[in-house]
Amino acid sequence: MSLTPNEKSTFIREGMLIRRNAVAPELISRARELVDDWYHEAMDPALIDGYTQRTFAPEFKSHPDLLALFAQSPAAELAAELLGTFRPVATMQLQIRVPEGRLSTPQPEKSMHVDGVACPHLDPNELRTFSLLAGVVLSDITDPQGGALHYQPGGHQAMSEWFQSEWSQGLTKQVPPELDAQSGTPFLGRPGDLLLMHHLVPHAVGRNFGAEPRIMVYFRVEHTDHAQRRLDALHDPWLDYQGLRT
């Protein structure tokens, strides 16, 4: 389960790595059944903006079948290798991109951003940053136009430089113009694939022109000391990554 030297090099260079078929099928099956039931029976289309900005199925944010995707998969062990120590992961974020035309009000797109910095639903002076984003795929994501996450490999380094030189708290711009102009690389995968992405990698999500919902479960992993040094972690991309600092 340990990170290979090549995976460490990839993460340092690109700010992310992907483990295919990393999460056990039985964990995926239980989580997908729970999400499917909620999607078909409990989702309120009138709340689509809130779901998109925060989480779908907020009542399930601490459900054991969803938290198991992190705690009982390689995600937790790999996060510990990267960060050294991290705060307990007690909640998840469920993100669904609904197929185009299924809602009377279109689902909002997410422009290029890093989480917790100048988000539209936050006070610009408020930081809700973390260290590492872990994502588990629950649906087939084979079409870049099917609501796929688009990320910018290596963007964590550029973002760190921007945070040091130009950005200040209260600025509503989420990324510098040269990164905002890029469409990013689509993350494609199948149920059970695991994504580990540095918090500073800019990413965006567009509309889903496919026939089926795109479903991802995310976990925001925070180094034990991150809350006391949020600004410093924006300036130094490896401050929280004790497993990579050497």
- Tens place of pLDDT per residue across the chain (246 aa): 799 999 999 999 999 999 999 999 999 999 999 999 999 999 999 999 999 999 999 999 999 999 999 999 999 999 999 999 999 999 999 999 999 999 998 999 999 999 988 665 555 567 889 999 999 999 999 999 999 999 999 999 999 999 998 876 666 678 999 999 999 999 999 999 999 999 999 999 989 999 999 999 999 999 999 999 999 999 999 999 999 986
- Spatial contact of 14 and 203, defined as CB atoms under 8 Å apart: no
Residue 109 lies in a domain: yes
Residue 202 lies in a domain: yes
Return the pLDDT at 174: 84
CATH classification at residue 164: 2.60.120.620
CA–CA separation, 237 and 229 (whole Å): 12
Residue 19 lies in a domain: yes
Residue 3 lies in a domain: no
H helix or E strand, kind and range, residue 118: none
Return the pLDDT at 127: 83
Return the pLDDT at 133: 98
How does DSSP classify residue 119?
Answer: -
91: containing domain: 15-235
Return the pLDDT at 161: 93
Number of domains in the chain: 1
